[in-house]
Each structure stands twice: as structure tokens, then as C-alpha cells.
Amino acid sequence: MIKMKIKDEWIRLAREFAEKKQPTSYPRFGESKEQQIERLTAGKIGELVGQAALAELGIPHICPSKLVVVEEMSYGDVADCTIYPNTKNVKKVDFKCAWKAFHKRILVPEDMFQSQHKDIYIGIKINMDKKESEVYGYAPRDEMETKHEITNFGEGPAYWVYLKELHPLEELRYI
């Protein structure tokens, strides 16, 4: 597990992104405007933390601009990040953020899992009150698909895995 401080700049940039994105964000969970902004902010912070963790480990990666707002409700990103770009080991990565105290797993909504193919899911737990994060590790797509049965935790059917079940991120150095 990699522990990282959450930078004030990341919080500011993530909140600005969320406020711009919210009006065109898909209302997947029937949330209020402020709840959507909170979720979008947390997710964007998770992406920034994940990218910093990859850099800290020296894992070659490219990430599209994390702060560009795409104003299409149906937009699904190709990947949050690509590791080992331009090599035979290239992998599409999705950062998944557990951002509430009771969150202990990462979830990928079933429809997103099926329509937006990612090779690796990286699980990150953030604590906004303490401005701390923990990058727990990763799960390959096949494990996300087979580790547990698709479950609805109150927000629709999702593939999932416990944070504690993730492989150490350092192992991605050797793929």
C-alpha cells in the first residue's frame, strides 16, 4: 500500500472540475447537485493520487488531461491512464476511489464494465478530513469479473473487489 498526502492544489483543481462537470454529468445515482459534486471531486482526487503513485513507482504511464471537462452526458472515457504506452505491455487503467469512511471495496457499475473495457483497476482510499490517501493496489479485469458475484450495493449492479484483496501496486513494475 502506498500512502500519500492529498495536496491542497489537487483538492482545489478537483472541486473546480466537479463544479464545471456536474451540469452535464450522468445522474447515475439520483444524487443532489452537491452530492454529485462531492462524488466527482473525490473521483478526480483519486485519479490525481493514482497518477502520482504511478510516477512515484517509476511505472511508465500517460494520462489524458485529468481536468478537461467533456460536456457530453454519454461520454465514457477510454481510460483514466495508460501504463507502458507504446509497448507490447500497454494496459488501460481505471482509478477507482473509495471516499467515504465506510467504503471498503471498489465498484465498477456493470454497464460501464461491459461498455468501457479497462485492463486494470487501481483502488484508492481517500480521507478528505485528514487529506490522506492510500493506494491499496490493483485488480486485473479478469479478477474484477470473477472474484465476486455482481452485486447491487444500492447504486445498481456492479463488479467489485475489497480494497484489502488488491495486488500491491508495485507488482505493476514487472508486467
Domain range spanning residue 87?
Answer: 2-174
Distances (CA, A) of 113 to 2, 94, 119, 141, 167: 26, 10, 10, 9, 19
Better-predicted residue by pLDDT, 26 or 77: 26
Average pLDDT over residues 17-28: 78
Q: Mean pLDDT over all residues of the chain?
A: 88
**Beta carbons of 5 and 131 less than 8 angstroms apart:** yes
pLDDT of 22 reads: 83
**Count of the separate structural domains present in the chain:** 1
Q: Which residues contact 32 (CB under 8 A, 6 or more apart)?
A: none
> For position 73, what pLDDT does the model report?
43
pLDDT for 144 beyond 90: yes
Q: What is the DSSP letter of 7?
A: P
Average confidence (pLDDT) over 142-166:
93
pLDDT greater than 70 at residue 56: yes
**Would you state the pLDDT for residue 75?**
43
Predicted model pTM: 0.88
Question: What pLDDT score was predicted for residue 116?
Answer: 87
Instruction: Report d(CA 141, CA 134) in Å as an integer.
Output: 21
60-101 tens-digit pLDDT: 999 876 666 555 444 445 678 999 999 999 999 999 999 988
- Higher-pLDDT residue of 38, 175: 38
Q: Decide which of 26 and 126 is more confident.
A: 126
What pLDDT score was predicted for residue 155?
A: 80
Q: Which residue has the higher pLDDT, 30 or 42?
A: 42
Q: Are 23 and 45 in contact (CB under 8 A)?
A: no
Residues 6+ apart with CB under 8 A from 125: 97, 98, 99, 103, 133, 134, 136, 163
pLDDT score at 74 = 44
